[in-house]
Structure 1
Amino acid sequence: MDELTPIHGNDPKPVDESKGLDCLPVDLIVEILTKLPPKILCRCRCVSKSWYSLLTHDVEFMSRHVELSKRRPLLLVRRYLSDGISGSEKIAVELTSIDMQGDITDKFQKVIDGPVHTFLSCGPLSILCCMDTLYLCNPGIRQVVRVPRRSNSRLYNVGFGYLPVSKEYKIVHMFYHSDAGNGKMGCEIFSFRQDGGVKAGAWRTVGDCPFIAWTDEQPVCVNGIIYWALSSGWKNRSILSFDMENEEFGSISYPIHESKDYSFLEYVGLMEALCVVGFSASSMDIWVLKNNRGFKTWAMEYSIDLFPFCPKFLVPSYDQSEEILVHMEQRDLFCYNLKSRKARRVEYYRAMKNYNKPCLYYASMVSVLGHGSGS
């Protein structure tokens, strides 16, 4: 018996083939579609008006698809296809998505206004920040949109985060005043809602940052708070915080452990908490920021033996991730799951060749052009 044939009593009734997929229960169709990657769903929008509406306007479907995609995070890497395009300063960049087995899932190209110096992700969206131009990208549906600029200051320090309370993305840009000697930096924010896209967003100035946040380390967003490193030295090191809901700055000291001599420290978002990872010899310590009755304290909760591998850097992850990703000198990716306390290797360099430092994202149908926009 055909499993798609509806049953009425004891007598099977042939399916009306002229209705095609519309003869299937809606719940079943939705369940199937939520498991498909965005590049396939983009094609599915052409099936019918009802499918187009589902895949571009249905908030419940979008949310369901996003939650399932979080279980299958992807690495996004970039490489330049040329040193520049003839007669201009523009360059062609190739964006490649790689799964946690090391296989390429998608690849596309985009011409942008120069080399990327800040490459960040927040959930399904990523930022490509050049010196004077900022791009917002959803690699899952191959959308790259230029963010309008208001100030003339160079884009040195840029953070990116999502505020679930208001369903709002915020790009935070800190810049030097003309009187930079005052020990502060100006701050402006570009805000846009998930259903409105970049075109409905706008820049506005907020209060000065009371610190000089100059660092080569990428910021991370955890539970609506963006964090930057405040200095490049190991002594008196601290982390700058920006609460996106209250739009207030603060600072947090790094964890101190006198018996450990770390070769380098990096911060990352893991399991909805800010973590600092310290590397010493062939081990990796993970410090978790705890909120104890209003006081924030550090607790070292994991110490992991990496021998015989030599760590090079952490791959920034979104704050709900359960895995910490460490790029090794041996060109492998070391993945350690904090819940299961199990490790595995991903030979992702077999798919990469000459790429820059990756970031982690999950695929979705969220359009950076706004609600219901096509790819």
Structure 2
Amino acid sequence: MQRSEMVEGKREKEVLPLDVVINILKRVQVKSLMRFKCVSKEWLKLLERNPFFTKQQLEYSTGNNALLLLQRVHRQPQPDPFSTCLIGPHHHHLIDESHLSDIVSPAAKILASCNGLLCLRHTTALSILNPATHQIRQVPIENLSAFNYVGFGFSPLADDYKIVRISMCIFAPDNQVVVLDNVRVERVEVYSLASGFWKEIDAAKLQPLCIVSSSVAITGSIFWLATKTSDSDTDSEFVVSFDIGRDLFTLVNGPPFQHSSSHPYSNNVLAVHNDKLAMFRHYIVGAFESCWFDLWVLEDLHGDYNNNTCDGVGGSWVKMYSVGPFSRIVYPLSLWGDEIVCREEFSGQENDFRGVETLLALFNPLTKELKNLPAHRDEFFYVPFTYSQSLVPVPDLLQH
């Protein structure tokens, strides 16, 4: 055997099997994977056009390297660039992502995060962004207004990402002050990233409702909080659930409400706990003197898709824990793993025109430890999202 043939045979033996290469590369940060496309044609094909590898990388990133994505929103109205930061699993590690301002408009607001993709709202426009790959596409949409509620999620059943727009209508005379009692759902449209088309769907059961929260998504579903005005002293509360694969809505009654003789002010926040819908019931006592909150998880969703009435059906809500009372106001914002992302409020100095100072923190419900996050105190509002870096491509969203 000639020397050249021996060398060539040795090289062939040194080539790793594809499954081993995938197992190694799925653990690498997306920023590095983007550079690895230059290694060879085979790697370029693997990293750009191999759905199996994209799925493997996403599953590993979601299970092992889920990040906390914070959008900075400046307290004072000013044309600041779009700004986000990432906090890693060790909490003290902050990754600045301000370079996204080069491709994202200053007015953009993050609406949702799903599989490494972000749904952005730019005043009267929508777009889909993959921050890791810097892919961004505009979503064809008309007449996007302040009374539109937008959700974004993925259905493995349909293998499709969808955007849901719920349009609200004001039922009040022009000279009357707009209150939630006068705002109702008017219509619902769904956009499929796979097909590139919008379509209107039946929303009869939503039309008596007023949507009162931003959306959260779990695998296959998108959720909102909604209320319905009743003749009694309290309004009816519902969770609106949208099945992404079947384009169908169902309504679920919320978890039990804790009534107190002190009549605390309360508000509710939707969250995701281990890929299940969760809700914080947040209670503030007296003149914002103290607070506590409960976390409820929906263990069994069994809605009636064929019922067009606005009557919610049962769901098995289980209380996971109660937190507090706190001696100050602590607002639960979302869940990141097993910890709660919170906004703390402190009374400002008497000569401080802002009045209240805020701080972003993580609360561990098991250890009762409250840890400050590495964010600029009181300079910004922070809107939190769970985010996993991925290679999921953003398709061309121009309508066919």
> Shorter-chain-normalised TM-score: which range?
0.7 to 0.9
Partner of 2:373: 348
Partner of 1:141: 133
The AA in structure 1 aligned to 2:300 is: N
- For the residue of structure 2 that corresponds to 1:303, the secondary structure is strand
* Mapped pair 1:315 → 2:334: yes
Structure 1 residue runs of 5 or longer lacking an equivalent are: 1-13, 85-90, 194-199, 371-375
- For the residue of structure 1 that corresponds to 2:241, the secondary structure is strand
| CA distances 1:206-241 after superposition (whole Å, capped 9, x unpaired) | 123533655552111234222112149974222222
Partner of 2:394: 368
Structure 2 residue runs of 5 or longer lacking an equivalent are: 1-5, 173-181, 284-289, 304-313, 346-357
| CA distances 1:51-96 after superposition (whole Å, capped 9, x unpaired) | 1111112222212211111122112233479944xxxxxx731333
| CA distances 1:145-185 after superposition (whole Å, capped 9, x unpaired) | 21122x33426210111111121111000124699999541
Partner of 2:70: 77
Report the TM-score, using the length of structure 2 for normalisation: 0.71
- For the residue of structure 2 that corresponds to 1:356, the secondary structure is strand
Partner of 1:6: none
C-alpha change, 1:212 and 1:137, in structure 2 (3 Å) is farther
Residue correspondence of structure 1 range 191-340 to structure 2 within 5 A: 191-193=192-194, 201-209=196-204, 210-211=206-207, 214-215=210-211, 217-231=213-227, 235-258=235-258, 261=264, 263-280=266-283, 281-291=290-300, 295-305=314-324, 307=326, 310-315=329-334, 321-329=337-345, 331-336=359-364
* Mapped pair 1:47 → 2:39: yes
Cα separation, 2, equivalents of 1:212 and 1:129: 26
Q: Following TM superposition, by how much is the alpha carbon of 1:133 offset from its aligned partner in structure 2, in angstroms?
A: 0.4
Assess if the C-alpha contact under 8 Å between 2:167 and 2:188 holds in 1.
yes
C-alpha change, 1:97 and 1:183, in structure 2 (3 Å) is closer
Cα separation, 2, equivalents of 1:142 and 1:56: 14
- For the residue of structure 2 that corresponds to 1:41, the secondary structure is helix
- For the residue of structure 1 that corresponds to 2:34, the secondary structure is helix
Q: Following TM superposition, by how much is the alpha carbon of 1:291 offset from its aligned partner in structure 2, in angstroms?
A: 2.4
Q: Percent identity?
A: 24
Cα separation, 2, equivalents of 1:249 and 1:366: 27
Assess if the C-alpha contact under 8 Å between 1:94 and 1:110 holds in 2.
no
Cα separation, 2, equivalents of 1:21 and 1:77: 46
Pairwise CA RMSD of aligned residues?
Answer: 3.7
Cα separation, 1, equivalents of 2:156 and 2:109: 27
Question: Quick check: 172-181 or 293-302, which moved more?
Answer: 172-181
Question: Quick check: 345-354 or 174-183, which moved more?
Answer: 174-183
Assess if the C-alpha contact under 8 Å between 2:149 and 2:166 holds in 1.
yes
Report the TM-score, using the length of structure 1 for normalisation: 0.76
Assess if the C-alpha contact under 8 Å between 1:97 and 1:105 holds in 2.
yes
C-alpha change, 1:203 and 1:230, in structure 2 (3 Å) is same
C-alpha change, 1:172 and 1:110, in structure 2 (3 Å) is farther
The AA in structure 2 aligned to 1:239 is: V
Q: What is the number of residues matched between the two proteins? A: 338
Assess if the C-alpha contact under 8 Å between 1:160 and 1:226 holds in 2.
yes
C-alpha change, 1:188 and 1:292, in structure 2 (3 Å) is closer
Cα separation, 1, equivalents of 2:138 and 2:364: 36
